[in-house]
């Protein structure tokens, strides 16, 4: 069967990667978490003193952007791809609240987006890919055959993230997570370059009252309709 490109965009912590990973595994497609790439650039900036306090040394980051190599490798234990920054597995570090609270200003920089989008487009040039993010259906793959835009209330998204961190035994405050979710949504929707918005031809999914199996089934149905007509 001819392979297609699937773009899943939407607000933070609404379940995009959960759906995208499950679908990719079911249909044998590559899965790419584009947010992990922006998170890896943010981690690099923090660890190398480029992002200190609220200040980003954009001149230095621009000079060093070509030295930031991001790749993904399947983790046999989880069955999911882990993110590598310059050859080091940073999967856990990039999910920390420290990175979450600083990623959106980094992702708003035009030269950072240009570098990431070029890598993402190269990853998808043979199709057979499910990519999730904020601008996949609008900028990275505007010709994707299947585009989904996911949303849910900020409170339910924060609760899901809180439950996830708690289950992992990580310290978390519900209010801090809710604030982070709202702040990222605001920056992502209001930045100048590729702001978060639903592509005109994307299908809207509000999963506030859906379970993981229900949204998985819904997505599989949309895929079947797209490929089989």
Give the shortest CB-131-to-ligand ATP separation in angstroms.
11
Find the shortest distance in angstroms from Cβ 63 to ligand ATP: 28
Of residues 58 and 101, the one with the C-beta less far from ligand ATP: 101
User: Site for ligand ATP (CB under 6 A): which residue of 16, 102, 113, 191?
Assistant: 16
For residues 25 and 117, give the distance between their C-alpha atoms in angstroms, rounded to a whole number.
Answer: 23
Report the alpha-carbon distance of residue 187 to residue 100 in Å, rounded: 12
Q: Is 13 in the site for ligand ATP (CB under 6 A)?
A: yes
How far is 102 from 131, CA to CA, in rounded Å? Answer: 22
Q: Which CB sits closer to ligand ATP, 20 or 115? A: 20
Nearer of residues 52 and 78 to ligand ATP, judged by Cβ: 78
State which of residues 212, 217, 221, 225 lies at the interface with ligand ATP (CB under 6 A). Answer: 212
- The answer to whether 134 contacts ligand L45E5XJ5 (rule: CB under 6 A) is yes
Annotated binding site: 10-18
Cite the annotated binding site for ATP by residue number: 10-18
Q: Interface mask (CB under 6 A) for ligand L45E5XJ5, residues 136-175, using x and -?
A: x---------------------------------------
Q: Which positions touch ligand L45E5XJ5 (CB under 6 A)?
A: 12, 34-35, 38-39, 103-104, 107, 133-136, 184, 188
């Amino acid at each position: 069967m001819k392979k297609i490109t699937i773009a899943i965009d939407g607000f933070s912590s609404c379940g995009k990667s959960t759906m995208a990973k499950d679908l990719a595994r079911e249909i044998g497609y590559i899965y790419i978490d584009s947010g992990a790439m922006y998170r890896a650039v943010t981690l690099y900036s923090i660890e190398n003193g480029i992002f200190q306090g609220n200040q980003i040394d954009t001149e230095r980051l621009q000079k060093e952007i070509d030295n930031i190599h991001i790749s993904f490798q399947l983790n046999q234990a989880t069955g999911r791809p882990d993110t590598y920054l310059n050859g080091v597995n940073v999967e856990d570090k990039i999910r920390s609240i420290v990175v979450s609270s600083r990623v959106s200003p980094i992702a708003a920089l035009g030269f950072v987006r240009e570098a990431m989008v070029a890598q993402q487009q190269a990853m998808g040039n043979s199709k057979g890919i499910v990519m999730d993010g904020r601008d996949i259906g609008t900028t990275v793959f505007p010709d994707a055959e299947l585009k989904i835009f996911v949303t849910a209330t900020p409170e339910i998204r924060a609760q899901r993230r809180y439950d996830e961190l708690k289950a992992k035994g990580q310290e978390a405050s519900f209010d801090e997570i809710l604030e982070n979710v709202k702040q990222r949504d605001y920056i992502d929707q209001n930045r100048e370059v590729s702001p978060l918005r639903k592509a005109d031809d994307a299908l809207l999914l509000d999963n506030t009252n859906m379970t993981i199996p229900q949204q998985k089934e819904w997505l599989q149905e949309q895929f079947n309709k797209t490929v089989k007509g």
